Amino acid sequence: MERNEGRYLLSGASDASVAIYDVQRATDYEGGGLLAKHKSLVTIDKQHEHGHKYAISSAIWYPIDTGLFITGSYDHHINIWDTNTTQMVMNFKMPGKVYRTAMSSLATSHMLIASGTEDVQVRLCDIASGAFSHTLSGHRGKDLNRKTSLDYEKNRWPALFLSGPRIILLRRSAAFDCLGAYLLCSLLRVMGAWFSKWLIMDHLTLNVQRMFLNGVMTVEWSTSSEWVLVTGGCDGAIRFWDIRRAGCFRVLNQSHSQLGRRPPLLQRAATNKDRATAHYGAVIGLKVTGDGMYLLSAGSDSRLRLWDIESSCNTLVNFETVRLQTGKAIQLATTQDSALVFVPCMTSVKVFDVWSGTTVLTFRGHYEHVNCCWYSLQDQELYTGGNDRQILVWSPSKWNADELDEWSKKGKASALDEDNWSD
């Protein structure tokens, strides 16, 4: 949703199409006028001369106005579009699938698009020059710029041992190759049926996911500085960058909390802070609070974490059990005061209290996995998009006159007008 009027909604789909909707003007009504339907004002699909060829993974407005919008796709391209003419005005060729793009809403000194792709390097695309400004190197994984070949050396295969009812997997220093992982998963699936009472698959699943997932899945600009960028990689790391300097200046560590840091199991782990991880799996979602003081992160380990940015501490807020998608990035959303966070959890959207981690609400309406959320500050509405090709709008309940009269008789009418500063 563009931030100026809060009126035009931009969406991208897996069929490589992008559409723009006017959320303030419905095209049809159903259910006695209770359900509003919206048809797209503009649609760009594969048939367009410069349309994307594969799924669109990211679609964002130019922060200043609605004259431009940016799309990123699995076809390895980031396209800049003129909204009025629906023509592509600029294109950036990336080294792999594009997972996420982001522009700073505070920027007055640059026009940079941060991109998270299959490559471990974060590339900054400069709209002003039409070229890459520079790259940010720090995340670990496969380098897509290097030619790789399958090899079956002994040290690339994991050692598998049976110890009573437990399966112990000792992974070597290098990653599994595809054939080895496929055979291993098949073996574990069969053996898991035999030892279902004892076998815990979560850790093994995360190891296999790390083999298939690579690169930087999510990028987020700071809400307090136009120069600070936050990135989350498939290596489980969350890194902070000052784009004016070389190298990242902060790496979050899940074992570093306000209660103190747990002693590392290995001495070498204590000295290598650069390899710290924020999640046991890939980082698939990031959201900086409105005041820029806290960061919410989601991982493929199905964990949500709240971080104090100033101290780099894990606040240890215990978010109630969630089940997150593990194969692609998700988009989180927060309310204006950052008191609530909206999280896509498979086919539903869960609403958590940011400070306590308790579940406040659960929205159910999609028939397939939910991928993204956006909270409109102007209308106090939540927009969600899912694999069922539906964009749903969740609005607060409307109070009619009779309900207001009933509440006023109970002495509760004043509560409707209260805010966080009311006594």
Torsion of CA 238, 243, 247, 252, to 10 degrees: -20
- Indicate the pLDDT class of residue 177, thresholds 50, 70 and 90: very low
Please state the rounded mean pLDDT for residues 408-412. Answer: 51
Between these two residues, 397 and 180, which has the higher pLDDT value?
397
Helix axes of 178-194 and 202-212: crossing angle, nearest 10 degrees? 160
Query: Count of alpha carbons within 13 Å of 106, Cβ hemisphere only?
Result: 13
Q: What percent of the chain has pLDDT over 70?
A: 74
Residue 165 confidence (pLDDT) above 80: no
- Structural domains in the chain, CATH included, are 155-210 (no CATH), 331-418 (2.40.10)
Residue 267 confidence (pLDDT) above 90: no
Note whether 353 and 314 are within 8 A (CB): no
- Indicate the pLDDT class of residue 370, thresholds 50, 70 and 90: very high
User: What is the pLDDT, as a whole number, of residue 33?
Assistant: 75
Residue 30 confidence (pLDDT) above 80: yes
pLDDT digits (tens, 9 = 90+) for 276-311: 999 999 999 999 999 999 999 999 999 999 999 999
Residue 207 confidence (pLDDT) above 60: no
Q: Give the separation between CA 372 and CA 360, rounded to whole angstroms.
A: 19
Note whether 294 and 288 are within 8 A (CB): yes
Residue 421 confidence (pLDDT) above 90: no
